[in-house]
Amino acid sequence: MFSGRSLHLDGPLLIALVFLSALGLVVIFSASGENWDVMLRQGVRLGVSLVAMLILAQVPPETLRRLSPHLFVIGLVALLGVLVIGVAAKGAQRWLDLGVVRFQPSELMKLAVPMAVAWLLTRGRLPPSFTMVMAALMVTLIPAGLVVIQPDLGTAIMLIVSGMIVVFLAGIRWHHIMMLLAALAASAPFLWSRLDGYQQQRILTLFDPFADPLGSGYQTIQAQIAIGSAGIWGKGWLEGSQSHLEFIPERSTDFIFAVFAEEFGLIGVLMLVLLYVFIVGRCLVMAYHTRDTYSRLLIGALALTFFFYLFVNLGMVSGILPIVGVPLPLISYGGTSMLTLMAGFGMIMGMHARRRLMT
């Protein structure tokens, strides 16, 4: 009765996403110490997220574009609200209690920032002028700054990256890129000094985790031991000694990939990475095929941000990037991140399905 097309969905992408999320449930069951409650709760979140995806797929691209600035302003207000009346959890103030649901404005911004930047840049001529680049930078840095104060460095970095990806896709001139990088390099010492001690430590740990094996290096070392000891074939599902004996901290959230890699080995890692690459690749193809620039920028940015999440998480778990609190997309335990991502994929599918209507 409802074909994928009439629901504005994309078959291959949907199958890959559902497969990945289902795999996530399997890993969470193991990582939670075989806790059915935890897995079921994540399953419910997955269901809710798929519904959100389905709904957002029905929104026409033109509507998304028109809503972009409004969504951005709402998000900005909500971020300010968090700082004033937010709810604290784990030492950071990230939540806004709306009575019925608790809501994390920074997650909304993960969609709102690229949308707003894409909206902004498509209002001018492409490739964007220097003024436009500066304006896009503002649109990115202001919410990122508010998120840093919470403090949530990981999300802030992701916001900046998603905004910058849009600017990059929009065709920013190479010498502008150089200027931005130079500015970043020049401000690096200042940024370093603004980091908290533990954040600096995490970056230093990257170079020599064994310098403080029981302190700041502990997480990195234990995750690497989990991954390395798995070998090619892994220790088998539910058989990971590192995770089941609680050697891996945050093992159902940020470090869940260590659990996965320990139990499924290099073969599992290759398959999972391929699955992610397929999802990103499929989205990039879809971006390639859309006709309007806004859709193309947004799809490309969302897909590449998704990839960036993956890269940062795997890089952190395997010890080539410092530890920043970035979950493994669609697999880590936690509802908000999954909802945002699935909503994003809904938008992607919707924009792609209606690509002809825009011309």
Partner 1 sequence: MAANELPSSRAVAPETVRRRIRIAAVLALTLSLILIWRFYSLQVLQYERYQTLSLDNHIRMQAVPPVRGLILDRNGVVLAQNTAVHILQVVPEKVHDIEVMLQAVDELVGLSTAEVEAFRSRLKKHPAFEKVLLKARLDDVQTATFAVNEYRLPGVTLEAVLHRDYPQGSLVSHVLGYVGRISESEEAMIDPSAYQGVRSIGKIGIEKQYEDLLLGRPGFAQVEIDAHGRTLRTISRNSAIPGNTLNLTLDADLQRIAREALGNRRGAVVAIAPSNGEVLTMVSSPSFDPNLFVDGIDQQTYDALRGLEDRPLVNRALYGRYAPGSTIKPVIAQAILDAGISPQESVYCPGWYTLPDSTRRYRCWKKTGHGPVNLHGAVEQSCDVYFYEMGRRLGIEAMAEVLTRFGLGTVTGVDLPDEPDGLVPTPQWKRATRNESWYPGEDLITVIGQGFLMVTPMQLARMTATLANRGIPVQPRILLSKEESLSGETLSSNVSSQPAKPVVEASLDRVIQSMTAVMHSPRGTARASGRRSPYQIAGKTGTAQVIGIAQDEEYDESVIPEKFHDHALFIAFAPVDKPQIAIAVVVENGGSGAKAAAPIARKVMDRFFQKKLQRAAVVRKRHVFG
- Residue of 106, 205, 224, 332 that binds partner 1 (CB under 8 A): 224
CA distance 285 to 72: 27
Contact flag: residue 225 with partner 1 (CB under 8 A): yes
Contact positions with partner 1 (CB under 8 A) in 304-333:
304, 307, 311, 314-315, 318-320
Comparison of 38 and 126: residue with beta carbon closer to partner 1: 126
- Contact between 280 and partner 1 by CB under 8 A: the answer reads yes
Among 194, 231, 239, 271, binds partner 1 (CB under 8 A): 231
Q: Where are the alpha helices (DSSP H) in 170-239?
A: 174-194, 197-207, 218-228
Q: Which of 85, 82, 90, 137 is nearest to 106 (CA)?
A: 82
Among 27, 46, 206, 226, interactor with partner 1 by CB under 8 A: 226
Q: Which residues pair with 95 in a beta bridge?
A: 87
Closest to partner 1 by CB, 45 or 251: 251
**Minimum gap (Å) between residue 100 Cβ and partner 1:** 36
Q: Which is nearer to partner 1, 147 or 258 (CB)?
A: 258
In whole angstroms, what is the distance from residue 328 CA to residue 345 CA? 16
Report CA 231 to chain centroid distance, whole Å. Answer: 28
Amino acid at 159: L
Q: Which of 39, 111, 170, 256 binds partner 1 (CB under 8 A)?
A: 170
Angle, CA of 348, 354 and 359, to the nearest 5°: 120
Asked if 300 contacts 162 with a C-beta cutoff of 8 angstroms, the reply is: no
DSSP label at 328? P
Q: Which residues of the chain form contacts with partner 1 (CB under 8 A)?
A: 122-127, 165, 168-171, 222, 224-232, 241-242, 245-247, 261, 265-266, 269-270, 273, 276-277, 280-281, 284, 287-288, 291-293, 296-297, 300, 304, 307, 311, 314-315, 318-320
